[in-house]
Structure 1
């Protein structure tokens, strides 16, 4: 089974095996490349169901159908009764790989991505479901053995940790970090393939999953050091874009001849070593693994490492250092690539092949902290790896809020851009769709699918009063009022409640524990009723105004792009979510452009209702 959690240092940076990736003998892409999609020349013998398009969309009501516009940039599979779908294989083969792409599912569609053509990560339209299995969107598909008893033929499949998928016709972002199986000189497998990390729409759904053998439907049941990337095409309609492939087939740089010197005291900058005798010194030993402790009991000290970095592949290397409770410095090939900097830093250097001087300083300046040093290196064809001891994060039992009781939780919520919502109400649902409302603005600030809230920051030790959404989040920008009175149709939307006489009046819960938020603005009384749509497909929001002031407008949504795709139906921000107008009271909506952004606004004539489909 996959491990429950992984250190924050491990996005493709494992401290275990230092075996170099086996050389790729078949045609390969450059070490990091975006797959060209102007035509199908990157693929072997593509079937007739595959083509490239400039734009693509899907119906929320019609199964297994995509609509397209001629052009390039998007890879589309559209099987029909007349055109049978076929799997699509790349011209290149890969070993260790990072794959990043966007994909779109048609309604009810099913597809998959096979690493090396053998290990499938499932893609599926699961909109409106909460069940998670190996066949769900983001699942690792089962292996299969016909000789096993009925009901047991499928085995070793892994469900995704969360249901982080989105509606048909919306782009979804996928990142896969894959480690190929390892073989000895005689060709015997000595290490299984692994999915190091899979992120769907910003959420970790698979982590450290060992793949004991090919999954069902593999191109072959044998295992190799390399194989083609394969897109399943014989099941349903699917589209892909922005396919970025990073291959790792080059040997890692290594440290050798390390020696260390320890100086007691607090060092904010590098000292002059000639006049400063060390408290301890010596060779690091055969491991040549950097460590921060070295049996040193001092609470404040400077640790200096010197040695040689053996570079086997010339090119640009990135050094990423983490130094909790202190600061660090790195020199490589006599270049200071990372100056003395508190906590962490990142630097790059172009290095020749061969042996170059290496120097690292770790200054522990905070007497209360535990010594800790982590250095990760990445380079041309070299996946980022840990060359120091691993920093073990403190084990804290998380405080997670269950959604069975339909919780309504008050807390601080931190948004991107260092903005804190101090009067936030987060509303959870067993359908696994949740949202946060800002009582100070009368605004929805975030919507997410998956787990509900991690309240650990609120309650652990002293706590800071905040909680964090767990699932795949969509943010609606810096909160501002939904209702405003504008001087003209093209006037900028108000940025805060100044001059609006805004007064929050709390909220009321219905029999299903769903809130209706109450407030006053411009002397009008507003009821803002938000309800989860059946099966968690989205939110329905109904805004009712009494004693409405003249000229009141409602801004339903704001974004970089809002396109109308049908009567009362809109797609927002490059197919990130849908907005559907359900009731307008006879008022006419308008998409307007202000300050380089677009807004869907409508005059307030008593009541307006709309849905966010996500």
Structure 2
């Protein structure tokens, strides 16, 4: 049997579309919120206590617990603890903030910044808390696995009637610590499903966190919530409730708050009829000239109406009832074959589609529906899935969910319980830092540590290209079947942009940084391991021999890099960082794009330079015999 990687290539050559694991085609959609909460003033919120304010900028200092410094302006919502603010026993939620909108099912997306040692939370419906916490240095304290109080965790419930030691229960720690340092903006995405109630008001289904992402890392999937968490504003459960932002535990700021509510009725499939045609169909048959092998009515879209395991085509016709007009998205899963979807006589998913996805703007009413599924690849189990999303309607599976694909790939994950090295290709996604183009680093080596802080080094340029916190590597694309030679970081990644030479000669401090190694006589010389299997990289460049020692900082706060250069020239420079903004702070610290800190620990008396270059800023340091700096993130 061919495995999925080979199958994918084979099906692509035949023009056949397929989906892996269609029985899970609903699989927790990533949030796509679209409605902004305006932060020009506090009108989007119920009356607030003075700890809440609208500001134009905010920053935190690493060494000052629970302190945010703000500047006048708009666009950021900040909670600054009040001096000697008394607690109010009659109103324990006095310093929290509630939105004027109420929600049921919701996708929420926002940025937030924690002050050092601060604590806050986002409460869905004012009842179910996603914890916001400064968990930056937990690894260094031996807390490699997050707790229910840590950043991104779902907080516990409490019941004083339970036995001693079991009164707090049903908390859900984040899968891994994906936190950034205090003073850096963090990104949170939540897909929430509200509890369900019958016509008598009785709860029939618990609330769920369908999916939660912290800084690009999935930390929860399909977690059931049995009831309100500790410190909820409401101890009952309802179909609707406001968002609540916690403001009584520490300094915190929010920006770019966007949401989508899902409260519209779903479309329905009615009067479904099917016909099964035996044979291998490279194109749709002439139905009026072809006798079906079987036909009938079906309550639901399903591949199970075919008694044939392979080489068949199922054609469905019926009515697609739309209750809410607007644009709808469709995702068709056809395992081991090809498919087509028409609604209201519009071709939504064409045959041999590369993505099996499509959109259609549909009116309210009963619309003609047609779908076919032609299967011809024998080693797949038959499986048909159709997902639908629309205006005010979260993506859901409108077909039978019973079909599965037995060729799902078990991931090949690499742990770093000890210092670990892996050579592989490393693909950097297209973004601003890579000038909008994906980059493949062909001579990458990833270095993992038990402190759960890892990095990837480009042996071709002597450059650190990314650092991440959390789990180490997914080597599935490298080792499964024939593989493509690449691995992927599993944690919260801080990327350094398109790799360039770290050290180079410049005719002047304003000369352009070279884009490649031409003229540098760059030669990698491998690495040596210390007694703990941590590498020191060696290379030659511009006539110099360089040793590049990188170590994880105490408490897992980042990495420290120490370069030793033999016989340095007077015009040798290191480029420590580049970005849209580079802001000098105190004690040799620089803030890069609000996403990382660079701290110059020892530059041998050389003065750092922040300069403009190609629409970006760069942080350079003239290099003498040694340079030591740290990246904190």
Question: Is TM-score (shorter-chain normalized) higher than 0.5?
Answer: yes
DSSP-derived class of the 1:389 partner: coil
Q: Could you tell me whether the CA contact under 8 Å between 2:335 and 2:383 is conserved in 1?
A: yes
1:556 aligns with 2:558: no
Q: Which residue of structure 2 aligns with residue 602 of structure 1?
A: 621
Cα distance in structure 1, aligned partners of 2:68 and 2:525: 46
Q: Which residue of structure 1 aligns with residue 295 of structure 2?
A: 282
1:348 aligns with 2:365: no
DSSP-derived class of the 1:535 partner: helix
Deviation at 1:453, TM superposition (A): 1.5
Pair 1:57–1:339, CA change in 2 (3 A): same
Q: 1:404 aligns with which of 413, 417, 422?
A: 417
Q: Which residue of structure 1 aligns with residue 429 of structure 2?
A: 416
Cα distance in structure 1, aligned partners of 2:26 and 2:97: 34
1:222 aligns with 2:222: no
Counterparts of 1:70-469 in structure 2 under 5 Å? 70-83=72-85, 86-130=95-139, 131=143, 132-275=146-289, 277-286=290-299, 288=300, 290-297=301-308, 299-364=310-375, 366=377, 368-390=379-401, 392=404, 394-417=407-430, 418-469=438-489
Cα distance in structure 2, aligned partners of 1:528 and 1:278: 73
Deviation at 1:264, TM superposition (A): 4.4
Deviation at 1:100, TM superposition (A): 0.7
Counterparts of 1:27-106 in structure 2 under 5 Å? 32-83=34-85, 86-106=95-115
Q: Could you tell me whether the CA contact under 8 Å between 1:48 and 1:83 is conserved in 2?
A: no
Cα distance in structure 2, aligned partners of 1:8 and 1:601: 48
Cα RMSD over matched residues?
2.3
Cα distance in structure 2, aligned partners of 1:486 and 1:264: 71
Q: Could you tell me whether the CA contact under 8 Å between 2:306 and 2:314 is conserved in 1?
A: no
Deviation at 1:550, TM superposition (A): 5.3
Listed one character per residue, the Cα deviations across residues 397-420 of structure 1 (whole Å, up to 9, x for unaligned) are: 443323222112222322214433
Cα distance in structure 2, aligned partners of 1:165 and 1:180: 27
Cα distance in structure 2, aligned partners of 1:213 and 1:420: 46
Listed one character per residue, the Cα deviations across residues 8-45 of structure 1 (whole Å, up to 9, x for unaligned) are: 7412499xxxxxxxxxxxxxxxx951111111111112
Cα distance in structure 1, aligned partners of 2:462 and 2:513: 15
Cα distance in structure 1, aligned partners of 2:543 and 2:315: 67
Listed one character per residue, the Cα deviations across residues 168-189 of structure 1 (whole Å, up to 9, x for unaligned) are: 0011110111111111111111
Cα distance in structure 2, aligned partners of 1:272 and 1:489: 73
Listed one character per residue, the Cα deviations across residues 295-328 of structure 1 (whole Å, up to 9, x for unaligned) are: 3536444433221101111111111234453333
Deviates more, 1:346-355 or 1:157-166: 346-355
Cα distance in structure 2, aligned partners of 1:397 and 1:266: 30
Deviates more, 1:384-393 or 1:139-148: 384-393
DSSP-derived class of the 2:75 partner: strand
Q: Could you tell me whether the CA contact under 8 Å between 2:309 and 2:381 is conserved in 1?
A: no
Deviates more, 1:291-300 or 1:403-412: 291-300
Q: Could you tell me whether the CA contact under 8 Å between 1:264 and 1:298 is conserved in 2?
A: no
Deviation at 1:52, TM superposition (A): 0.7
Deviates more, 1:78-87 or 1:435-444: 78-87
Deviation at 1:271, TM superposition (A): 4.6
1:532 aligns with 2:552: yes
Q: Could you tell me whether the CA contact under 8 Å between 1:328 and 1:344 is conserved in 2?
A: no
Cα distance in structure 1, aligned partners of 2:592 and 2:356: 37
Deviates more, 1:147-156 or 1:53-62: 147-156
Q: 2:531 aligns with which of 489, 500, 511?
A: 511
Q: Could you tell me whether the CA contact under 8 Å between 1:414 and 1:421 is conserved in 2?
A: yes
Cα distance in structure 2, aligned partners of 1:389 and 1:516: 55
Unpaired segments of 5 or more residues in structure 1?
1-5, 15-30
Listed one character per residue, the Cα deviations across residues 536-595 of structure 1 (whole Å, up to 9, x for unaligned) are: 10111112211334532211112222222335221112x111111111122222122222
Counterparts of 1:575-586 in structure 2 under 5 Å? 575-586=594-605
Q: Could you tell me whether the CA contact under 8 Å between 1:50 and 1:75 is conserved in 2?
A: yes
Count of matched residue pairs: 589
Q: Which residue of structure 1 aligns with residue 19 of structure 2?
A: none
Q: Could you tell me whether the CA contact under 8 Å between 1:323 and 1:343 is conserved in 2?
A: no
Listed one character per residue, the Cα deviations across residues 514-537 of structure 1 (whole Å, up to 9, x for unaligned) are: 211101112211111111000110
DSSP-derived class of the 1:409 partner: strand
Listed one character per residue, the Cα deviations across residues 419-438 of structure 1 (whole Å, up to 9, x for unaligned) are: 33232211111221111111
TM-score, length-normalised on structure 2? Answer: 0.88
Pair 1:490–1:308, CA change in 2 (3 A): farther
TM-score, length-normalised on structure 1? Answer: 0.91
Deviation at 1:481, TM superposition (A): 1.4
Cα distance in structure 1, aligned partners of 2:30 and 2:530: 49
Listed one character per residue, the Cα deviations across residues 319-370 of structure 1 (whole Å, up to 9, x for unaligned) are: 1234453333222111123322344233222211111111223344545544
Q: Which residue of structure 2 aligns with residue 495 of structure 1?
A: 515
